[in-house]
Amino acid sequence: MPITIGTTYVSIYKLIPNYLITKRYFLFGLYSLYTIIISIFSIMFSVFFAIAFLTNFMFTKVESLSRNTLFIITCVYLVVIIVSAFKLLKLNLKQSKYSGELEAKILEAQLKLKEQELKYLKMQIHPHFLFNTLNTIYGFALKKSEQTPDMILKLSNLLDYLLYHVDKPLVALKDEINHIKDYISLEEIRFNDTLNISFKDSNCAEALSVAPMLFLPFIENSFKHGKIIEGKLSITVVFECTADSIDFTINNSHEKQLSKPHGIGLENIKKRLELLYKNQYNLKISETRNSYNVQLKLDL
């Protein structure tokens, strides 16, 4: 019994945790061999004195009793193997639990990092959007236009959307489209007769949801970088929806230049798409001599 206890102790508290679990296989094999040799010697030594004691030190009977030695060794190592197997199982379960907790912490950290990056991108979108809109209102205020109050009211609606909807992970597509329409109506006042815009949205059900402020940067860029050709800035906006996808297309009159302007809104929207809709979107931007085209398809 003491030999069984000692061998088991060495196996489960020294050999397995210090060498087998840490993948130091050579040392594990070497020290296991040492343990086996020492334990077998100890068993033989104890059996010899036990037999001698049972036979009253009459060694003529030793031969018949020593046949049980192999059985004793087998029983000792059977106990060691069973206990070691339970120890390995316990260590594996502990390692699995630790790995699961570590993976959960990593995922949580990645999620927080993703949320922080999205918040940073949204913080950049807000000033960019407000700067363009306030510039428009400022121009009309200088002219003391009667349309200025109406523009301020529309801006108020847009700000309400920014304050209470943009921080949500998803908003109804209908709300996003109405928000875009409010922005376009502001630009229609600013451009007056020089704007020719077409807006279509078909089959965009109330149930569809998207990330807020996802399409507006494309609309802003079409006004900001679009070119008035023959007295008109032409813009076409189309939303085509199905039960699980949104196909957004925008085209504006344009004059191709060697140096292409890159607005902060367009760069942000690419980053947001990669964060929010990775492997679920297809963005195509093409340019001809007189037009600039953007097509974004989202698989929801």
| Same structural domain, 69 and 185 | no
Q: Is residue 85 part of a domain?
A: yes
Alpha-carbon distance values, 128 to 43, 125, 132, 145, 180 (Å) = 84, 5, 7, 24, 15
| Same structural domain, 254 and 162 | yes
Q: Answer yes or no: are the C-beta atoms of 147 and 160 closer than 8 Å.
A: no
Please name the residue that has the structure tokens 């006042």: 189
| Same structural domain, 90 and 186 | no
What is the number of structural domains in the chain?
2
The β-bridge partners of 195 are 233
Please name the residue that has the structure tokens 């229609």: 188
Q: Is residue 189 part of a domain?
A: yes
Q: Which residues of the chain have pLDDT under 70?
A: 55, 57-67, 114-129, 132, 166, 257-265
Q: The domain that contains 217 carries what CATH number?
A: 3.30.565.10
User: So what's the pLDDT on residue 71?
Assistant: 81
User: So what's the pLDDT on residue 294?
Assistant: 93
pLDDT tens track for 44-100? 888 777 777 776 766 555 555 556 777 888 888 888 899 988 888 888 888 888 888
Sequence-distant contacts of 184-190: CB under 8 A, at least 24 apart? 184/219, 184/237, 185/154, 186/133, 186/136, 186/151, 186/154, 186/155, 186/158, 187/136, 187/223, 189/136, 189/140, 189/147, 189/150, 189/151, 190/136, 190/139, 190/140
Q: Is residue 32 part of a domain?
A: yes
Residues of the domain holding 151: 145-299
Q: Is residue 132 part of a domain?
A: no
Select from 46, 74, 104 the last residue of a domain. 104
